[in-house]
């Protein structure tokens, strides 16, 4: 039997066909416009049965018996475990107020309806602290798009005549998009890649701007300098649909390509060539990615990149950067249930918390402050759902201390992770093929595609929705969660669009809520306070932020630990591999090479001058901590840069890259720390 569903082993949310026999998942194949032989393989999907039926899956709720960190747990029934969790919710509310309890979300259960359920539960209970990890992933970038033209655009890669890939590695992270890029290339589209690493896209690009990490904002300003001063901007679009162009044109004068180039590790001629090629192609689109996230200038750098789309008039045209058309839905988060007197621990980043009607809060570093320093007030109970913060949040040493200080901690995860070791209760979650849900990809734009259950939840596990609905009932919130099952809940959420789960099951290709329309701004304007693209933002100025990005002309080094002596190499958190999702799946033998260990990859020149050969053990130091890995040699980066394998922190603490990162300095708008790049030093180990 073939079941049409969506893979959620990572946030790419690929539509797939799952083959199921006698209730067992046999295989799964990604859908694509290409014939099977030409498709990009995803190793994780190819190993879906090994992942789903891994012997490491949890099969019963666990309750702590020993002291924290001692990893002594006993099996418990679902009722007993949920009763204990509910009693702790009530106890903490009575003693310290509902806001002393927080819900922290990683990325795995998806950001669509499952995230809405978590927020609904917490809001109805009275705690404003449901917090996601979007400060380092996507949401900060999305806010920069919103503050420029009121929505996050989607690149029309397939129909584009020039694709500018900015810090994204779709070959490994979103294979469908990479297939679209190959298709566009075959049709003659130009390709420019901005990436410190020679990625597969960079290797086939017309121009590869091998920018120094975190210098993207200044590079975007230099490109706009070239476009505006060479009169290549779209004057009609700017006149009719934008605000503050003069202020932007003045700001870019501080960033001539020849001055930015040495600073950003580039050749000015390449910046000029790329700017002209992008501006002279129509339609052109920009594919921006996680390379722009996790930087100290994330918000303004992404805003500068977003402005490139606007000055060239590429917004909302076929093959350009398209404004999505989300389906009409009920907002089910119940935010109005919160008392006006409460405020979340993310208060200092209130613009970030309010820019979008459903994203909710994502300044996750603030939660660590609240746990550890009790600012702005103490949080002493946390539920961690679908995340492994002990390995994925910046400055693991500090994060660990924070979690150790909690009175009570609950983890909802299919596996016993490094984070789960500190929990009081662990609730075993079902994985993606075992549940029906509405993904964020479907709430963000039409068509709506259903992630449908392909197999029954594994014995002892429960889907996230079911865990939340049951906990709500135990907390006396049955009225707020009246749905008998997830299908009823999804039907309710989709009601305004008239789309139902049953219809979605009969339309595996998805259902649109309305026809696709381009250039919607002509009739509706943009979703900003002024109704125009805002090169100058009053909202930012009123809140003490630069209304125009990089308007002061400063060229400070935005890489963390730059001012620390003795750390001369730029350490880069490595790009995602297509075999793993962050800290997940390193236990699946069939995804590993024999005897494989993570590596720190250096340029040959650096390896030579440091006397390091491939295979030797090295220690990487930053002012926060150190890790130990094998050295590798690569020509994918420039001398002076090292790529440190990302996501191995679950395997061994020696490999936990976030022991190196800093959470002290943060982006002023989105609280983003610099997980991505930092100055470091290498030491060769004897044995
Ligand atoms: N230095 C550095 N830090 C980073 C990054 C980086 O590149 N470098 N990347 C950042 C980014 S973009 C992100 S998104 C974060 C990721 O941060 P996390 O979300 O913490 O990362 P994962 O390791 O994917 O952890 C997901 C957890 O969810 C569990 N899980 C899987 N499926 C389900 C499910 O259906 N339900 C539930 N309840 N649990 C499930 C998995 O077993 C796993 O333990 O890390 C960020 N941190
Ligand atoms: N296989 C796999 N797929 C995934 C995931 C996974 O863990 N594994 N995670 C999912 C998640 S949560 C996310 S957020 C997405 C992310 O997907 P992508 O956006 O593709 O993320 P990455 O591969 O981490 O990084 C993208 C590129 O940014 C480059 N880069 C690093 N620093 C900089 C910089 O300072 N400037 C610029 N311009 N580029 C830089 C890196 O070299 C890399 O090539 O992937 C999703 N898909
Ligand atoms: S890229 Fe692979 S793991 Fe991620 S959703 Fe698509 S098929 Fe699943
Ligand atoms: Mo992410």
Q: Ligand 1 pocket test: which of 6, 107, 117 has the largest number of ligand atoms within 8 Å of its C-beta?
A: 107
The answer to whether residue 302 scores a pLDDT higher than 70 is yes
Among 647, 627, 631, 587, smallest CA distance to 57 is for 587
Residue 495 confidence (pLDDT): 98
Atom of ligand 1 nearest to the CA of 574: 7
591 within ligand 3 shell (Cβ under 6 A): no
Mean pLDDT of all residues in 666-674: 97
Complete domains list, the chain, with CATH: 2-52 (2.20.25), 62-133+364-505 (3.40.50.740), 144-324 (3.40.228.10), 569-684 (2.40.40.20)
**Bridge partners of residue 534, in order along the sequence:** 243
Mean of pLDDT values over 72-76: 96
User: Ligand 3 centroid vs 260 CA: distance in angstroms?
Assistant: 37
What's the CA gap between 7 and 118, in Å, rounded? 21
Contacts of 88 (CB under 8 A, 6+ apart): 381, 408, 424
C-alpha 76 to ligand 1 mean position (Å): 26
Residue 511 backbone phi and psi in degrees, to 5: -125, 130
**Cα–Cα distance between 526 and 232 in angstroms, integer?**
23
Is residue 389 within 6 Å of ligand 1 at its C-beta? yes
pLDDT for 76 equals 98
How far does the centroid of ligand 4 lie from the alpha carbon of residue 262, in Å? 31
* Backbone phi, psi, residue 382, to 5°: -135, 140
Q: Give the range among 230-244, 466-480, 547-561 with minimum mean pLDDT.
A: 547-561
pLDDT at 566: 87
pLDDT for residue 260? 97
Q: What is the β-pairing status of strands 2-6 and 15-21?
A: antiparallel
The whole-angstrom separation of Cα 408 and Cα 426 is 11
Q: What is the pLDDT of residues 163-206, one digit of tens each?
A: 999 999 999 999 999 999 999 999 999 999 999 999 999 999 99
Q: Is the CB of 12 under 6 A from ligand 3?
A: yes
Among 156, 154, 192, 284, which residue's Cα sits nearest to residue 232? 284
What pLDDT score does 70 carry?
77
Q: Where are the beta strands (DSSP E) in 52-205?
A: 62-64, 73-75, 101-105, 130-131, 154-155, 162-166, 190-194
Q: What is the DSSP string of 104-143?
A: EE-STT-SSHHHHHHHHHHHHHT---EE-STTTSSHHHHH
Strand, helix or coil at 162? strand
CA of 486 to the centre of ligand 3 (A): 23
**CB-based contacts of 629: which residues, under 8 Å, 6+ apart?**
597, 598, 599, 600, 617, 618, 620, 644, 645, 654, 655
Please choose, from the candidates 582, 111, 113, the residue with its C-alpha nearest in 3D space to the C-alpha of residue 361: 111
The best mutation among 10, 290, 577 to test binding of ligand 2, ranked by most ligand atoms within 8 Å of the C-beta, falls on 290
Considering every ligand atom, which ligand is closest to the CA of 586?
1
Q: How far apart are CA 573 and CA 550, in angstroms?
A: 25
Of 684, 451, 551, 489, give the one whose Cα is nearest residue 244. 551
- Using DSSP bridges, classify how beta strands 284-288 and 162-166 pair: parallel, antiparallel or unpaired: parallel
Distance (Å, whole) CA 226 – CA 275 = 6
CA gyration radius for the chain? 24
The rounded mean pLDDT for the chain is: 97
Which ligand has the nearest atom to the CA of 430?
1
Q: How far, CA to CA in Å, does 173 sit from each of 41, 170, 427, 450, 636?
A: 11, 5, 28, 21, 18
Q: Indicate if the pLDDT at residue 381 is higher than 80.
A: yes
Q: How confident is the model at residue 687, as a pLDDT?
A: 63
Residue among 494, 326, 451 at smallest CA distance from 15? 451
Tell me what the mean pLDDT of segment 616-620 comes to: 97
**pLDDT grade for 95, boundaries at 50, 70 and 90:** very high
219-233 pLDDT, tens digit each = 999 999 999 999 999
Is 68 exposed, middle or buried (CB count within 10 Å of its CB: 0-12, 13-18, 19+)?
Answer: middle
Across-strand partners of 75? 62
The atom of ligand 3 lying closest to the CA of 175 is 1
Q: Ligand 3 pocket, 466 CB below 6 A? A: no
Instruction: Note the pLDDT of residue 204.
Output: 97
What's the pLDDT band for 608 if we cut at 50, 70, 90?
very high
| Residue 594 pLDDT > 90 | no
Helix (H, G, I), strand (E, B) or coil at 29: strand
pLDDT digits (tens, 9 = 90+) for 9-30: 999 999 999 999 999 999 999 9
Atom 3 of ligand 3 has which residue's CA nearest to it?
9
3-state secondary structure of 381: strand
Which pLDDT value is given to residue 97? 97
Ligand number with the minimum distance to the CA of 622: 1
* 113-125 helix and 464-474 helix, angle to the nearest 10 degrees: 10
Q: What's the pLDDT score for residue 67?
A: 82
pLDDT at 539 over 90: yes
Contacts with 282 (C-beta within 8 Å, 6 or more apart), sequence order: 161, 312, 313, 314, 320
In this structure, the residues whose C-beta lies within 6 A of any atom of ligand 2 are 10-12, 107, 137-138, 166-170, 172-173, 194-197, 199, 211, 213-214, 216, 289-291, 295, 572, 575-578, 580-582, 676-677
Residue-wise pLDDT for 26-66, tens only, equals: 999 999 999 888 899 999 999 999 999 999 999 999 999 98
- Percentage, residues of the chain above pLDDT 90: 96
Residues 6+ apart with CB under 8 A from 340: none
Cβ of 76: how many Cβ atoms within 10 Å? Answer: 18
CB 20 within 8 A of CB 26: yes
How far is 549 from 572, CA to CA, in rounded Å? 25
Average pLDDT over residues 102-121: 96
Residue length of the chain: 687
At residue 99's C-alpha, the angle toward residues 95 and 103, to 5°, is 115
Strands 154-155, 321-322: parallel, antiparallel or unpaired by DSSP? antiparallel
Residue of 106, 172, 290 to mutate, ligand 1, most atoms within 8 A of C-beta:
106
Nearest to 264 by CA among 235, 227, 225: 225
pLDDT of 645: 98
Model pLDDT, residue 556: 80
The torsion region of residue 173 among left (phi > 0), alpha (psi -120 to 50) and beta comes to: alpha
Strand order in the sheet with 162-166: 207-209, 190-194, 162-166, 284-288
Distance CA(451)–CA(438), nearest Å, equals 6
The secondary structure element, H or E, covering residue 684 is strand 677-684
Nearest-CA residue for atom 39 of ligand 2? 167
Residues forming beta bridges with residue 602, ordered by sequence position: 633, 642
Mean pLDDT over residues 455-476, rounded? 98
**Ligand 1 neighbourhood includes 464 CB (under 6 angstroms):** yes
581 touches ligand 1 (CB under 6 Å)? yes
Quick one: which ligand is closest to 387's CA? Answer: 1
Average pLDDT over every residue of 77-89: 98
Give the Cα separation of 28 and 36 in Å (integer): 13
């Amino acid at each position: 039997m073939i079941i049409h569903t969506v893979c959620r082993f990572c946030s790419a949310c690929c539509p797939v066909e799952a083959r199921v026999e006698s209730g067992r998942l046999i295989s799964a194949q990604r859908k694509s416009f290409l014939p099977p032989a030409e498709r990009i393989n995803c190793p994780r999907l190819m190993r879906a049965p090994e992942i789903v039926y891994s012997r490491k899956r949890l099969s019963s709720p666990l309750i702590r018996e020993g002291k924290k960190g001692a990893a002594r747990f006993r099996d418990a029934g679902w009722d007993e475990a949920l009763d204990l969790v509910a009693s702790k919710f009530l106890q903490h509310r009575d003693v310290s107020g509902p806001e002393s309890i927080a819900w922290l979300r990683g990325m795995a259960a998806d950001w669509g309806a499952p995230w809405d359920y978590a927020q609904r539960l917490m809001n109805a209970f009275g705690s404003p602290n449901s917090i996601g990890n979007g400060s380092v992933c996507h949401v900060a970038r999305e806010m920069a798009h919103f503050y420029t033209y009121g929505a996050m655009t989607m690149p029309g890669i397939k129909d584009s005549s020039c694709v500018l890939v900015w810090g994204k590695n779709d070959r490994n992270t979103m294979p469908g998009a990479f297939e679209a890029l190959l298709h566009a290339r075959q049709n003659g589209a130009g390709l420019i890649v901005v990436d410190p690493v020679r990625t597969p896209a960079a290797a086939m690009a017309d121009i590869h701007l091998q920018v120094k990490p975190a210098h993207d904002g200044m590079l975007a300003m230099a490109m706009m300098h070239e476009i505006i001063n060479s009169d290549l901007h779209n004057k009609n679009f700017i006149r009719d649909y934008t605000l503050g162009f003069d202020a932007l044109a003045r700001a870019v004068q501080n960033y001539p390509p020849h001055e930015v180039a040495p600073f950003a590790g580039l050749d000015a001629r390449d910046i000029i060539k790329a700017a002209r090629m992008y501006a002279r192609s129509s339609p052109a689109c920009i594919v921006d990615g996680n390379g722009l996230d996790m930087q100290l200038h994330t918000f303004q750098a992404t805003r500068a990149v977003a402005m490139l789309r606007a000055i060239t008039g590429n917004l909302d045209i076929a093959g350009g950067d398209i404004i999505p058309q989300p389906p009409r839905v009920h907002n089910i988060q119940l935010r109005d249930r919160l008392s006006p007197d409460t405020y979340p621990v993310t208060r200092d980043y209130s613009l970030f918390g309010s820019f979008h009607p459903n994203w909710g809060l994502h300044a996750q570093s603030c939660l660590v402050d609240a746990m550890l320093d009790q600012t702005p007030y103490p949080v002493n109970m946390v539920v961690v759902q679908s995340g492994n913060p002990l390995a994925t949040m910046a400055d693991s040493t500090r994060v660990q201390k924070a979690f150790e200080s909690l009175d009570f901690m609950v983890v909802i995860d299919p596996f016993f992770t490094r984070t789960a070791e500190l929990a009081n209760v662990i609730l075993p979650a079902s994985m993606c093929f075992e549940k029906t849900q509405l993904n964020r990809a479907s709430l963000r734009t039409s068509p709506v595609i259903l992630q449908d259950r392909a197999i029954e939840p594994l014995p002892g596990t429960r889907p996230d929705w079911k865990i939340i609905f049951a906990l709500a009932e135990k907390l006396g919130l049955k009225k707020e969660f009246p749905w008998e099952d997830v299908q009823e809940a999804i039907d309710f959420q989709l009601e305004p669009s008239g789309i139902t789960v049953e219809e979605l099951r009969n339309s595996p290709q998805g259902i649109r809520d309305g026809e696709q329309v381009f250039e919607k701004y002509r009739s509706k304007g943009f979703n900003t306070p002024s109704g125009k693209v805002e090169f100058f933002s009053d909202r930012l100025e009123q809140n003490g932020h630069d209304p125009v990005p990089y308007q002061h002309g400063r060229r400070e080094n935005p890489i963390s630990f730059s001012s620390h002596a003795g750390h001369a190499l730029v350490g880069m958190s490595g790009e995602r591999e297509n075999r793993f999702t962050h800290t997940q799946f390193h236990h699946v033998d069939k995804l590993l090479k024999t005897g494989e260990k993570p590596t720190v990859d250096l340029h040959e020149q650096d390896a030579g001058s440091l006397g390091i050969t491939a295979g030797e053990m090295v220690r990487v130091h930053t002012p926060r901590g150190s890790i130990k890995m094998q050295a590798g040699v690569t020509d994918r980066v420039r001398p002076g840069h090292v790529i440190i394998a990302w996501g191995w922190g679950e395997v061994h603490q020696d490999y936990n890259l976030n022991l190196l990162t800093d959470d002290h300095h943060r982006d002023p708008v989105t609280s983003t720390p610099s997980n991505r790049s930092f100055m470091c030093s290498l030491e060769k180990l004897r044995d």
